[in-house]
């Protein structure tokens, strides 16, 4: 009877977007994978498990009494929403606790923005998630992937690797480290606190 009154454990689904395979490992479109890998290692998550029924690699751990589910969809970018929908349904995660980490060509390299309830902005992975969840009411950690914002770029650009100048900016700005810290603050103190500190 006591268990009936116990508060359900809060669950947070954190999804890093990217394309699986060595070919895409260091491309712009895989910044989500890179950031979530860093966060996983920094916070001593268990090894990634490839769960075929979810079409994703998953690692889970409890932080501050919250169940944190890290995800790397293995569907390729344009179909990321399929994996996100399956996992959100299985774990019964509230929309506000679905957090997406992804590259963004409208943000300058070295910068990160936290956004919520906004359109895909041309990002096909995010668009797939919106279509599958039938909502855009989720959180996004948007990592700058271009030296010049609002440029006209084709699909080929996001599959290119960063040049030496861009890599130096990432290192100087500690972009991936900062993204990891933003996620940690959001888990500990809430998204609003992370947005106030970093946006």
- Active-site residues: which are they? 29
Euclidean distance between CA atoms 36 and 58, whole angstroms: 11
Q: What are phi and psi of 38, to 5 degrees?
A: -65, -45
- Alpha-carbon torsion, ordered 40, 177, 193, 146, to 10 deg: -110
Measured in residues, the chain has a length of 199
Strands ordered across the beta sheet of 11-16? 49-51, 56-63, 66-73, 11-16, 98-108, 139-146, 112-116
Token pair 């100048």 is at which residue?
165
Euclidean distance between CA atoms 47 and 185, whole angstroms: 23
Token pair 């995010």 is at which residue?
126
Spatial contact of 116 and 191, defined as CB atoms under 8 Å apart = yes
Token pair 């690699």 is at which residue?
57
């Amino acid at each position: 009877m006591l268990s009936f009154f116990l508060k359900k454990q809060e669950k947070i689904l954190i999804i890093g977007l990217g394309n699986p395979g060595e070919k895409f490992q260091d491309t712009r479109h895989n910044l989500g994978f890179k950031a979530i890998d860093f966060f996983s290692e920094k916070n001593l998550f268990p090894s990634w498990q490839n769960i075929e029924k979810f079409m994703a690699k998953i690692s889970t751990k409890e932080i501050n009494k919250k169940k944190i589910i890290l995800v790397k969809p293995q569907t390729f970018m344009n179909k990321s929403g399929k994996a996100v929908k399956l996992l959100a349904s299985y774990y019964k995660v509230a929309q506000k606790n679905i957090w997406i980490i992804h590259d963004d060509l409208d943000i300058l390299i070295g910068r990160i923005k936290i956004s919520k309830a906004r359109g895909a902005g041309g990002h096909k992975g995010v668009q797939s998630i919106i279509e599958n969840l039938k909502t855009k009411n989720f959180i996004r950690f948007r990592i700058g992937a271009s030296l010049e914002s609002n440029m006209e770029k084709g699909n080929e650009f996001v599959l290119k690797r960063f040049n030496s100048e861009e890599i130096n900016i990432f290192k100087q700005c500690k972009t991936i480290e900062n993204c990891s810290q933003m996620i940690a603050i959001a888990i500990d103190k809430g998204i609003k606190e992370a947005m106030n500190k970093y946006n």
